[in-house]
Structure 1
């Protein structure tokens, strides 16, 4: 049984309260009837999330905010001297022991939490303590891949981020073109997978294949501003960043294509929609 993971199990038996599910090794987990819409029969299969409750394995069709090995932003529903209970997105809350709290967790506030199985106890546990910019091997990414991001916080080099709920990466400050907020979600792109196993991410796609996205932004901005934008290829990177939230490099590629397609006119201090 893969504790803390979503998996497909088979109905072994049923009673008035719910169903006994089993895996290939005949390990059992109980699924309460309240999580099943239609009546199931012995031998039926169902996809469930398996967790522990009172030293027993239980299953639910609810989707947790994070499975074992993943990060998620969770709200604290109760804080005690021994630890904190977090809203996990399922019927059971996730427990974070006091020793696994980077700083004392306060009820009602949101935190970035990593879910793991505590080896001494074998229990699914949460922690707010994790290493920044770890080194990875055999990453399932390549340069340019689109990924989902959770913003951790800003450091000396830039913003630490969670990639696809599983990996920690970095957006360099020079690649940030808009206001960012801790614990918010963004779309990003794999920029570099370094030899030391660290991951660099960008908020914007790179290369000519993605210039159409920037062209669309520029055209929409022009249409909403009476056909004029007071930035051009002679504008500073800061001016372009403030106006369009993109790098000067991507801006120049985009307006070059728009000019070639006769959609805009490029003047000394502005661009004009044709």
Structure 2
């Protein structure tokens, strides 16, 4: 099985690493790549680990990105970033409301998106669903058609209350034919990858180091598991991003439904 997985790794979208213009500094950033992720990071470990509270500013899209995604799709992708960030940093940091003081202030930006080919994704979803009805006595893993896969590039930073940058990351990943479920929406791969970025940047703030330097497998915390299935998040501040689609999202993904159909998006919360 491992040989199959390794063999499928080339069947993925190109991995862009696009630097934007919104970070306060791009100095000192060094390459730190994962298996299927490219990144450049800079993190001041001692200062980051000294922080105990964090607040998240809204994720934004670079102004020059093309209008191929609808405003609803952009909002869903941006919200997926913040939701994943909020859940990820909650493993160590207390998340406070945007109008409250915090030791770290985080802002992320989408710098590049390649949309998913809806037709190819729809065909892949139909083939995968059809294989579930083939009686061969065992489940059949069905990789999606490696055509029209989407990709995403992000950048983010964490500032202290005096505006000094304590951590920064430029991140890029392409959808993979084995790991990313096909869904009939231009936004589907970017939506999935947005959550991956949020998890990676959040982990960097939790550990004070690159999320790709870990040896072995990090098991998810109980609060992450609860949030993933749609239960209340650890901190009330995360409620503003809505809850994960949970089982509904999993079923929708298996059926190839657009994330716009299964994710209710942000739920503004009054503090």
Instruction: Tell me which of the two structures has the higher relative contact order, counting C-alpha pairs closer than 8 angstroms and 6 or more residues apart.
Output: 2
Structure with greater helix percent: 2
When the two structures are superposed, what TM-score results if normalisation uses the length of structure 1? 0.25
When the two structures are superposed, what TM-score results if normalisation uses the length of structure 2? 0.25
Structure with greater strand percent: 1
Bigger radius of gyration among the two: 1
